[in-house]
Amino acid sequence: MPELSTWVGLDDTDSYSGGCTTWTAAQIAAFLRDKLLDFPYLIRLNPEIPWKTRGNGALALHVSTLGPTQEEGIKRILAVASRVEGKTDPGLVLVSEGKAPRWLSDKALRDVVTKRLLEKALSISGETGAVQIVGLRPGLPRGLIGAMAAVAHTWGDYTFELIAYRDDLTKKREEVLSDVLYMDSLTAPVTFLNVDREDGQPLIYPHGPDPVLFGIRGEDPNVLIAAHDIVRNTSRPWVIFKTNQATNEHIVDIEDASRARPYTTVRFVAYVVDKPQVLQGGHVKIFAKQGATEIQVMVYRQTGYLNRISRELLPGDKVLFWGAVRPGKVPLTINLQGFKLLSAVKWEDEKPLCPLCGRHMEKTNFGAYRCTLCGVRAWDPQIKPITRRLRQGKDYLPSASAFKHLMKPWNRRPLPAAYQFSPAYIESQQNPHKILSGENY
């Protein structure tokens, strides 16, 4: 008979003033070290949820069946590690023999989950196996949405993140740019988003009051451990999470832009109808249309490269846009996360030349052209080829520093097939003792 297993899901244990749900999960993972059946899972959910603290991350652990002492231990860790203040409403769930329904995870990743939907998911899970809910406030904890969604997650594309934690929260993080640059030069693109190439700033260090020292993202746990040793060769605790970060999983493809829903991230085809407008502050507004649906595409200055390159779009361009739908805006307005030029305008109209004097004619009130010197008239403009900086079929994305967790960087590449079948890689995927650093929990 196969060994029975349990899923532990948790979310919403941190607040703006500190804590981090990955740290709570790391402590539970260390406590259940011998029971871990896989990497701890860090599942990023809908980034447009307004009540998230930072990156809307939820955590799940797949472990062999727990006894009462271990269950008690987990609950103790939750109580000690959580910051029950402000809107924080920690939720932990233990699901044995059966997972939460997949639709809950899909919905939490791309849309808004209501309390009613959560209750439905809990009742379905309750039919197939035991569900134990732990909260620290009265009622059904809001953190349960993320906790259940993390347990229900089914893997498509995935990456890993090694998160190293601080031992002293009162000390400023020591950022060593030269180490990060060296690590990046040896490990990228198997690791990614280490540095912003435009301003040379490291991207692995967070700046909040949370216990994370740094996080290195990448394709291969072995390489992450090596990268960690380059950046900080000390025995701070670290954990490798398997994650849906950098996969674009949050994006919903829609054919009809008029059906875009608030708090979702959508991708659709539309035509640019006017020259992009540069607003005060350097933000760019693009007017686009899909059939009768008008769309405003906002490209904020903070998106760096995306903001600059979007100014090159021209009326008539056919473009695949993706971005977050702004609630309550008419016409439909999205905050751009990326675009791909599908079909570029290649010609532009130009005032025709006068056959007598060779000067450009002027446009008349009737839409024709006339040479103001010789009086010669012409009906049609001259057509001139345009040199475009934008390349058809290429993804245009924000600068690295403007990336959100789920956004897929341009330089992410699958590992070579030969490497994926190598013993070292297979071992790194299967051997739980490599998930956690040895000491200091």
For ligand ATP, the binding residues (CB under 6 A) are 11-12, 14, 20-21, 45-46, 49, 51-57, 89, 108, 112-113, 142-143, 145-146
- How many Cβ atoms are within 10 Å of 280's Cβ, its own excluded? 5
Tokens 């994370």 label which residue? Answer: 212
Task: Work out how close the CB of 244 gets to ligand ATP at its nearest, in angstroms, rounded to a whole number.
Answer: 13
Minimum gap (Å) between residue 148 Cβ and ligand ATP: 8
Residue closer to ligand ATP (CB basis): 55 or 189: 55
What does the DSSP 8-state code read for residue 258?
G
C-beta of 114 vs 372, nearer to ligand ATP: 114
Please, are residues 375 and 381 in contact by the beta-carbon 8 Å criterion? no
Nearest distance from residue 30's CB to ligand ATP, in Å? 18
**CB-wise, 405 or 412, nearer to ligand ATP?**
405
Q: What residue number has its CB nearest to ligand ATP?
A: 146
Task: Please give the single-letter amino acid code of residue 48.
Answer: E
Measured CA to CA, the distance from residue 366 to residue 440 in angstroms comes to: 81
Nearest to 29 by CA among 227, 224, 242, 230: 242
- The dihedral sign for the CA sequence 42, 22, 137, 64: positive
Cα separation, 78 vs 93, whole angstroms = 11
Smallest distance, ligand ATP to C-beta of residue 337, A: 17
Q: Between 86 and 355, whose beta carbon lies closer to ligand ATP?
A: 86
Smallest gap from residue 92 Cβ to ligand ATP (A): 11
Q: Quick one: which of 392, 384, 390 has its CA closest to 347?
A: 384
Shortest spacing between CB 38 and ligand ATP, in angstroms: 20
Least Cβ distance, residue 397 to ligand ATP (angstroms): 22
Closest CB to ligand ATP among 45 and 299?
45
Minimum CB distance to ligand ATP smaller for 5 or for 335: 335
Amino acid code (one letter) for 218:
G
Distance, first Cα to last Cα, the chain? 34
Closer to ligand ATP by Cβ: residue 264 or 337: 264
The DSSP H or E segment spanning 109 is helix 102-110
Select 52 or 283, whichever has its Cβ closest to ligand ATP: 52
Please give the Cα distance from 143 to 98 (Å, whole number).
20
Q: Which residues touch 407 (CB under 8 Å, ≥6 apart)?
A: 246, 248, 337, 338, 397, 398
How far is Cα of residue 365 from the mean position of the Cα atoms in its chain?
Answer: 51
Residue 84 C-beta: closest distance to ligand ATP, Å:
12
